[in-house]
Amino acid sequence: MRDHVEHDPLRTDPAALEDLRRRLRATRWPDAPEDAGWSAGVDVGWLRDLVAYWADGFDWPAREAARNRLPRFRVHLDGLGVHVVHARAVPGAGPALPLLLCHGWPDSGWRYERLVPLLTDPGAHGADPADAFDVVVPDMPGFGFSDTPRGAPLDSVGVAGLWARLMSALGYERFGVSGGDLGSHVARYLALDHADRVVAVHRTDAGLPVWAGDPADLSDAERTWFADVAAWGAAEGAYAAVHRTKPQTVGVGLTDSPAGLAAWVGEKMRAWGGGDEPFTPDDLLTNITGYWLTGTIASSMRMYRANAAIPPAQLARRVEVPSGFTLFGEDILRPPRAWLERTAHVVHVGEPPRGGHFAAFEQPEVYAAELRDLLRPFRVNGVPNV
């Protein structure tokens, strides 16, 4: 089947929302140790409040209508439907540089929706109109509103190849790319395997470190970071171990119970975001409801299992495409400059004090400014030099 593109606004059957509310009201709650708070996982009291609001206060149709203000399409790539926001620069903004934004887990293209208007119409947001972008924000296969592959899940290498194909289908041969979390891996492999098409790559992390050499060859800062990553994994990494090994087991419960889904996703969003309460209940539930309505929590977790099988030689490759990093001050596992230089051709490092793991949603103005600064040299007199 040839690649083709069609409009794809979000549409929810009211019966699906009624079923969701029924399940929420029938939640069977666990007990919790007195004063446990967040020490053993999700705070059950916090979750009870969120579930009650989800059942009787949250207005998904209004959120859906707001999300549909962005231009949404389905791109069919050999029968696999990819849901994508494709927003072109506003008329009069000048020639636009194409920019692909790659999300991670536990989210979807939702991560970047606040960012899109700042990039397509910079002049309306206090920036130079010459910094305009055509923005492409796809949901990865098995995430959000994209199809789930019928066979084995795609790993980050496979998604990078699919996104190269997607950009061709949308008419872009050369482009910039940005990503965080799993999207950072995808952006990295785009730069590695499609270097002739990526003008520059921007990432908000460097992934988990892999080093097969002599530890003595690492800097003190790198060795300290490796130790910090190991300690974080021991304290916080149980979710990833489940995703890598037995995602289907927990996937049964999370696909059947919206309260369970809210616990699994909401706890991570709260823990990884910046500040004490990085998201409003409406923000949390917009992301979580997307997972519920599409039934994609299990398929999204399976990508961890696929990535765990990527050969070590792939993980050791150095990115030679010009690379920029923005290490937000409230994010987890912030790598030292020495590791960035070891693994990539670094041309820009920003370190904003505020912003966590979902910085494009939490601090969109800062994120947009970082992208403009990194990618401006790839324009000549305002025209993309691609």
Q: Indicate which residues carry an active-site annotation.
A: 181, 304, 357
State the sign of the Cα–Cα–Cα–Cα dihedral 263, 264, 267, 273: negative
Render 160-186 in DSSP notation, one character per residue. HHHHHHHHHHTT-SSEEEEE-THHHHH
Q: How far apart are CA 320 and CA 244, in angstroms?
A: 29
Strand boundaries in the chain, DSSP class E: 4-7, 72-77, 80-87, 97-102, 133-138, 175-179, 198-203, 319-326, 344-350, 379-380, 383-384
301-335 burial code (b ≥16 CB/10 A, e <16)? bbbbbbbeeeeeeebeeebebbbbbbbbebbebbb
Tracing tokens 């401006």 back to the chain, one arrives at 376
Residue type, 129: P
* Contact (Cβ atoms closer than 8 angstroms) between residue 95 and residue 31: no
Q: Nearest Cα to 189, choosing from 213, 212, 155, 166?
A: 155
Distance between CA atoms of residues 26 and 18, nearest Å: 12
Eight-class DSSP state of 215: G
Pair 103, 111: CB distance under 8 Å: yes
With 0-12 / 13-18 / 19 or more C-beta atoms within 10 angstroms meaning exposed / middle / buried, residue 131 is buried
Distance of alpha carbon 364 from alpha carbon 110, whole angstroms: 12
